[in-house]
Amino acid sequence: MAVAQPPLTAPPQVLGRFWRRSPMSLKIGGLILLVHLIVAATGPFWAPYGQAQMGAGLPLSPASFAHPFGIDQLSRDVFSRVVHGGHIVIFLAVSGTLLGLVIGAVVGLLSGYVRGWVDEVLMRFVEAIISIPFIVLGLLAISAAGPQLAGEPVLVIFVVALIYAPRVARMARSAALEIVTKDFITIARLRGESAWSVMRRELLPNATSVLLVEFAVRAGYAPVLVGSLGFLGFGMRPPTPEWGLMISENRALLIASPATVLGPGLMLASLIVGLNLFTEGLARILGRTVQIASR
Amino acid sequence: MAVETLLSVENLGITYGQGDEALAAVQGVSFTVAKGEAFGLVGESGCGKSTLAYQLLGYRAPSARVASGRVVFRDTDILTLDRPALERLRGDRISLVPQNPTTALNPGMRVGEQLAEILVVHGRAESREAARIRVADLFDRVGLPLPGRIGRRYAHELSGGQQQRVCIAMALACEPDLVVLDEPTTGLDVTTQEQIIGLLLDLRTRLGMSMVYVTHDLGVLAQIADRVGVMYAGFMVEVAPTDELFSQPRHPYTRGLISAIPRLDGGAVSGQHLRGYLRRSEIPPSGCPFQPRCEVSEPSCATTIQTLADVGPGRSVACQRWRALPPVPPAEPLPATAAAADGAEAPLIEVVDLTLRYGPRGWFGNLLGRPGPQVVNAATLAIRRGETFALVGESGSGKSTIARAISGLLPPLSGTIRFAGEPLAASIKGRNSDLKRQIQYIFQNPDASLNPRNRVSEILARPLAMFLGLRGEAGREKLEHALREVRLESGYLRRYPDQLSGGERQRVAIARALVAEPSLLLCDEVLSALDVSVQANVLDLLRALKRDTRVAMLFISHDLAVVRGLADRVGVLFRGTLFEIGAVEEVFRPPFHPYTHELLMAVPSAHARKRRTMTRRDAEAIAGAGCAFAGRCPWQVGKICEEQAPPWRDAGGSLKIRCHLPVADLADRAIWRGGDDERTTVGVAAP
């Protein structure tokens, strides 16, 4: 827990020293992420074609210099679509994870502090949710939401949060169980602090490193989740250039024009690799060896 | 007398880390240990004593490297040995007794096997049978009960003292020439500590082995060491024969250390405490490391490297100013603690027949679970406003449990607690904010009681906002005042706990309790996690608080000397039963309850060499209807002790003792007469 508090404004030499001391995985992961973020932020301005612009070339053209990822059946430039889609994928993944983290952290920390029957009920509920395979859970949630919401970004975010929150809650609870044994919690209890206030003032600041790593691990897998939902047709609505959806749309072209599938696939894979490397490095800095969660 | 030198350390330097972050843990240390000699190494935490001790076995942390010097053990430089040679040496010729036996013993292996392993590794036993016999012999030698069978037990089945005995047996297994002991009694109760030291003294005379005894406790060294080396910030600052070191310390640091030790006769050498604490960053790069804290330093101290120089037969000191040290003033007894209030005043807190138990609660819990053992048995005590009541006893005696019950953390099984005449709700939920404000708890370990992620200002502001409704600017003044009260500057408000030293952290914890303007402070072993010199400062602070604020304190401690210097009244607790209660001067002079007597006899004293006691060792008390101390009591009368609860007896003044023996008998049997120097305590008239 003895992680030094970083100063609020880090002078350049501090950043330089931080960089030199960082593990290699953090550096590589960070670079990959940086490239992705730049592409996602600036892509719409320099992409050669619009995200749904047809007539970019002959349908099913293979990869060429002008069209690095080829042209799809609707004569759209796949490369431009991939570039346009970056911010969508990242936005869905990050906001879904963030929402799941917040819900999970609150439930887990409170549960670990309050204990008793509240803890029992919450944790059994959480375990029940975790026992459902996440894709099945996602599909159930989406079908339950009904057709009006289908394909809305909000729904995708909620589904990601629903899948992650119980898993985060368990982590947060175990972190809380360790913190509540400390005397400063007893002091707060003796002061008559409410459970909410103990959670916010005493538990949360001490669980930040656990939650940070948890966020990074979950965010690292979230693009796959978003992509999987898209691939199955339960995610974003066409013609959104979401990468999973694009892989799904173009999968029939795998033989004729493989670049149309491999392009978005490559982007998705590199984003995930970057996130995971970054997570591992972050975890090492925070002094925890985190098994990169595969689920 | 020409003695053979067994070990000689020459100009040893050990550095942690690399480059500009390198930390010199040990610098230019030289000393020798003769055959059969016990050499003590003493210093505050962080002075490099453990690093040095482990190096004597050729061991150092992976990040450490030897910068200079030699460690010569019987004509061999240990630092030049390769790994196989070191492995042959360790455990065989040089062995270690570790600080914490609980973690040093393998929890998954029977203790006998662990011991036999050493014998086998070093080829000391030809067969399993021979090893088994030798193991039993060793267990017998270190005074373990049932030596033939205890080897079948696991470490967790032994008490702390027994575990340490096993570790000592392991160190002795191959009859080494040198045993290095790293704080071997620090985690133990005072009575257990006394037994272990007695054992070590005994083993030393019988086996003639040499010892290097590392500790922060000068009192222990007074019992066991022939010569003592005092370390400060990696330097050896003084080496002297033990007696001379205590009677005439030459280095200002040694003198500060000695005067910081609380005395059992309540005396204190005032104004001699060490200033500040060891900050590596403040040490002048080429000068005396102690200069920033030294009372007698002169400007040249900051620029002149001090080296050990002979100042008498067998004595050396690294200080150019040693001649300028004023002679040690005689200790003056503390002003008799003026009775805080006359007896007529109603007590602030009254505990009557309090019985406490851990374990399942409620009728449902009782139905299902086994009830936990009773930790506190019908305890009755009262504390008046402005009074300090000390609860003493060894660990597990239920001292903290009583404090927890008063604070509302543990609802009592039976009995009542009254606060200012009103019955106190059993749990915190039933108490109003004002009651919560009035009773404040201070914990033993400030590392755990301060939220590491909050600044000092946030830590102190919270109780202000909760209890007094003061926020922002209005509270600011109060915060600074609270810090001043614990003698910290307002600059500390911006710091995080990990930017404070142990003593400063404990003061912040005290300040947090004080901002609530409490009328009762529950101080749970608040000094025991601190270094001796820091302890003295915090103790001074508590005395000042007591004088200035009329706050009542329940002071829980296992350290009788600290209690002697602070408390107005004392209660002695053993296994949850109060056995003696009375004003502090009365408790510290005969008649004694046998257990109080045992505790007092066990206190190692830096100011007097030791007398031996005749207590029954390691006997377990018999649980049941009788006296809780029966079975361990050296003065046991007979069957009555085991069968009947002893009565409370009036022993004059306000003193009450719970024992079957009449008061006159108790007075006659007492060997301990009060006072550190075998004199009766000054300033207290005989009853």
Nearest alpha-carbon partner for B348 in B389, B390, B383: B383
At A266-289, the pLDDT tens digits run 998 999 899 888 888 887 777 543
Smallest CA–CA distance, residue A31 to chain B, in Å, is 29
CB contact under 8 A, A5 and B496: yes
Beta bridge mates, B238:
B230, B317
3-state secondary structure of A260: helix
B130 in a structural domain: yes
Please indicate, yes or no, whether residues B456 and B364 belong to a single structural domain of this protein: yes
| Residues on A contacting B at a C-beta cutoff of 8 Å | 1-2, 4-5, 182-184, 186-193, 201-202, 205-206, 208
Interface test with B, best of A115, A184, A198, A209 (most B CBs within 10 A): A184
pLDDT reported for residue A292: 37
B575 and B616 belong to one structural domain: yes
Residues of chain B with pLDDT under 70: 1-2, 20-21, 265-273, 276-280, 328-344, 359-373, 605-624, 673-687
- B516 with B435, same domain: the answer is yes
Q: Do A182 and B449 touch (CB under 8 A)?
A: yes
State whether B208 and B158 are in the same domain: no
State the pLDDT at residue B329. 65
Domain assignment present for B26? no
Residue A190 and residue B407: Cβ atoms within 8 Å? yes
Find all residues with CB under 8 Å of B253, minimum gap 6, and list them: B230, B232, B237, B238, B274, B290, B293, B294
Let me know if residue B118 belongs to a domain: yes
Q: Which helix (H) or strand (E) holds B511?
A: helix B502-515
Residue A234 sits at φ, ψ, to 5 deg, of: -105, 5
Greater model confidence, B687 or A100: A100
pLDDT reported for residue B341? 46
CB contact under 8 Å between A191 and B496, yes or no, is no
Q: Is residue B651 part of a domain?
A: yes
Give the three-class secondary structure for B592: coil
Cα(B29)–Cα(A125) distance, rounded to whole angstroms? 63
What HEC string does B340-407 produce? CCCCCCCCCEEEEEEEEECCCCHHHHHHHCCCCCEEEEEEEEEECCCCEEEEECCCCCCHHHHHHHHH
Tell me the per-residue pLDDT of A143-189, one tens digit each, with 9 for 90 and over.
888 888 877 889 999 999 999 999 999 999 999 998 998 889 999 98
Strands B227-232 and B235-241: antiparallel
Distance, in Å, from the CA atom of B603 to the CA atom of B674, rounded to the nearest integer, reads 12
Look up the domain containing B644 and give its range.
571-669
Contact, B505 vs B526, CB < 8 A?
Answer: no
Chain A: give the shortest CA distance to residue B431, in Å: 9
**Alpha-helix runs per DSSP H in B105-184:** 111-121, 128-141, 160-172
Dihedral of the alpha carbons of B115, B118, B119, B120, in degrees to the nearest 10: 120
The CA-to-CA distance between both ends of chain A, in Å, stands at 27
CB pair distance less than 8 Å for A187 and B454: no
pLDDT of residue B206: 85
Give the chain B residue whose CA is nearest to the CA of A193: B466
Identify whether B495 is part of a domain. yes
Count Cβ–Cβ pairs < 8 Å, chain A vs chain B.
57
Q: Do B451 and A206 touch (CB under 8 A)?
A: yes
CATH number of the domain to which B302 belongs: 3.40.50.300
User: What is the dihedral angle through the alpha carbons of A156, A162, A165, A166, rounded to the nearest 10 degrees?
Assistant: -150
- Residue spans of beta strands (DSSP E) within B200-344: 210-215, 227-232, 235-241, 267-268, 309-312, 315-317, 332-333
Do both B379 and B246 map to the same domain? no
Tell me the average pLDDT across A99-127.
92
Mean residue pLDDT across chain A: 84
Residue A101 confidence class, pLDDT cut points 50, 70, 90: very high
> Of B201, B194, B165, which is closest to residue B36 (Cα–Cα)?
B201
> Residue B448 and residue A201: Cβ atoms within 8 Å?
no
Decide if B467 and A193 are in contact by the 8 Å CB cutoff. Answer: no
pLDDT at B388: 92
CA B277 remoteness from chain centre: 18
pLDDT tens-digit profile of B260-301?
A: 777 776 655 444 567 766 666 777 777 888 888 887 878 888
Predicted confidence (pLDDT) at residue A7 exceeds the cutoff of 70: no
Among B408, B449, B452, whose Cβ lies nearest the Cβ of A187?
A: B449
Q: Is B407 on the interface with A (CB under 8 A)?
A: yes
**Which residues from B are below 8 Å from A192, CB to CB?**
428, 431, 433, 436, 466
Q: Do A191 and B443 touch (CB under 8 A)?
A: no
H runs (alpha helix) in B152-303:
160-172, 190-207, 218-224, 242-247, 252-260
Identify the pLDDT of residue A289. Answer: 39
Of A2, A183, A205, which is closest to B449 when you measure between CB atoms? A183
C-alpha of B193 from chain center: 10
Counted residue by residue, chain B has a size of 687
Tell me how far apart the alpha carbons of residues B669 and B687 are, in angstroms, rounded to a whole number.
16
The answer to whether the CB atoms of A183 and B448 lie below 8 A apart is yes
* Residue A2 scores a pLDDT above 70: no
- Judge: B453–A183 Cβ closer than 8 Å, yes or no: no
Q: What are phi and psi of B625, to 5 degrees?
A: -75, -25
Tokens of A55: 């007539």
The answer to whether the Cβ–Cβ distance between A191 and B436 falls below 8 Å is yes
Cross-chain Cβ contact B466/A193 below 8 Å? yes
Per-domain residue ranges of chain A: 24-43+66-285
The answer on B509 and B456 residing in a single domain is yes
- Say how far apart CA A86 and CA A43 lie, in whole Å: 8
Nearest Cβ partner for A189 among B428, B453, B454: B428
Residues B280 and B411 in one domain: no
Give A4→chain B minimum CA distance, Å. Answer: 8
When CB atoms are compared, the residue of B440, B450, B498 closest to A184 is B450
List the B315-317 sheet strands across, edge first. Answer: B94-97, B178-182, B210-215, B38-42, B227-232, B235-241, B315-317, B309-312
Per DSSP, helices labelled H in B72-209 are 83-89, 101-104, 111-121, 128-141, 160-172, 190-207
Residue B322 sits in the same domain as residue B261: yes
Average pLDDT over residues A200-211: 88
> Does residue B3 lie in a domain region?
no
Burial (Cβ within 10 Å: 0-12, 13-18, ≥19) of residue A217: buried
Topology classification of domain A24-43+66-285: MetI-like fold (1.10.3720)
Does residue A291 surpass a pLDDT of 70? no
The rounded distance, in Å, linking the Cα atoms of B565 and B246 is: 20
Residues in B closer than 8 angstroms to A203, CB to CB, are none
Among A217, A215, A265, residue whose Cα is nearest residue A245: A265
Instruction: Tell whether B511 lies on the interface with A, counting CB pairs under 8 A.
Output: no
Q: Does the residue B687 lie in any domain? A: no
List for chain B the helix, strand, coil content (%; round to 5).
35, 20, 40
Give the H or E element holding residue A30.
Answer: helix A24-46
Residues in chain A within 8 Å Cβ distance of B449: 182-184, 186-187
Interface with chain B: mutation pick from A114, A190, A212, highest number of B CBs within 10 Å: A190
CB distance B230 to B42 below 8 Å: yes
ipTM: 0.75
Overall number of domains in chain B:
4
Whether residue B330 lies within 8 A of chain A, CB to CB, comes out as no
pLDDT at B273: 65
Q: How far is A188 from chain B (nearest CA, A)?
A: 9
Q: What is the largest CA-CA distance in chain A?
A: 74
Tokens of B21: 């972050």
pLDDT at position A75: 82
- pTM score, whole prediction: 0.78
Closest CA to A85 of A257, A237, A246, A259: A246
- In the three-class reduction of DSSP (H, G, I as helix; E, B as strand; rest coil), residue B207 is classed as helix
CB contact under 8 A, A184 and B436: no
Task: For chain A, say whether B512 makes contact (Cβ under 8 Å).
Answer: yes
Instruction: Tell how many helices (H) and how many strands (E) occur in chain B.
Output: 23, 26
Closest residue to B449, CB basis, from A184, A191, A205:
A184
Chain A residues with CB inside 8 Å of B512's CB?
A: 187
